[in-house]
């Protein structure tokens, strides 16, 4: 049985996860309206995750966060180019140029149970490989007009079943879907 693979991400209303240059200033601005202590289910979600898989661009963005948000979690950076991993993270962060299929197979064989897939290109590659089990998208009420889209081209349709939908008083709307298995 393969490890469960999940996406938990925010997008602008027009479907972007960042500006064209990778900036998430619009998301940081929106998060200022979130009441203290509210995380839209992120901590509960992260409590179920044992391994995070993200692309190099996302990893480089996360490296700017203080403090490091993934203490105690194994993290794999997917990249076809070398990845600079800071010495203080070397015990829990590794890099891989494997295909999504090979990486999931290896992590499953190593005993990983629940993978958090993050980063636009990485998410798109896992969806194209039909490896995503569930998707949680929190839509932020802002139109940024251009940027890096969450979703991209797929070899065929991915049918989804809505599992839950929640609106927050500060304007965020969160939908969770199960990716239906191929018939």
Residue 43 phi, psi dihedral angles, 5° rounding: -60, -40
Question: Could you read off the pLDDT of 48-92 as tens digits, one per residue?
Answer: 999 999 999 999 999 999 899 999 899 999 999 999 999 999 999
As its CATH architecture, domain 4-179 has 3-Layer(aba) Sandwich (3.40)
Q: Mark the ranges of the chain whose per-residue pLDDT is less than 50.
A: none
- Predicted local distance difference test score (pLDDT) of residue 1: 87
Q: What is the predicted pLDDT for the residue at 69?
A: 93
Domain ranges of the chain: 4-179
**pLDDT score of 182:** 73
Those residues with Cβ within 8 angstroms of residue 158's Cβ, 6 or more apart along the chain or in another chain: 127, 130, 132, 179, 180
What confidence score (pLDDT) does residue 181 get? Answer: 84
* pLDDT of 135: 98
Structure tokens at 127: 């969806």
Would you state the pLDDT for residue 164? 98
């Amino acid at each position: 049985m393969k490890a469960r693979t999940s996406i938990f991400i925010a997008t602008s209303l027009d479907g972007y996860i960042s500006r064209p240059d990778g900036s998430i200033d619009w998301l940081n601005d929106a998060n200022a309206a979130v009441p203290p202590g509210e995380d839209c289910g992120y901590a509960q979600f992260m409590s179920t995750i044992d391994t995070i898989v993200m692309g190099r661009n996302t990893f480089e963005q996360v490296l700017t966060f203080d403090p490091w948000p993934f203490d105690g979690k194994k993290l794999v950076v997917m990249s076809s180019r070398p990845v600079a991993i800071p010495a203080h993270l070397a015990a829990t962060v590794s890099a891989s140029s494997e295909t999504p299929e090979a990486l999931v197979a290896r992590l499953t064989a190593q005993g990983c149970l629940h993978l958090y897939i993050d980063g636009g290109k990485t998410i798109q590659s896992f969806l194209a490989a039909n490896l995503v089990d569930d998707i949680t998208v929190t839509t932020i009420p802002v139109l940024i007009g251009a940027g890096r889209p969450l979703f991209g081209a797929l070899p065929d349709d991915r049918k989804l079943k809505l599992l839950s939908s929640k609106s927050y008083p500060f304007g965020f709307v969160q939908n969770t879907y199960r990716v239906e298995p191929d018939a």
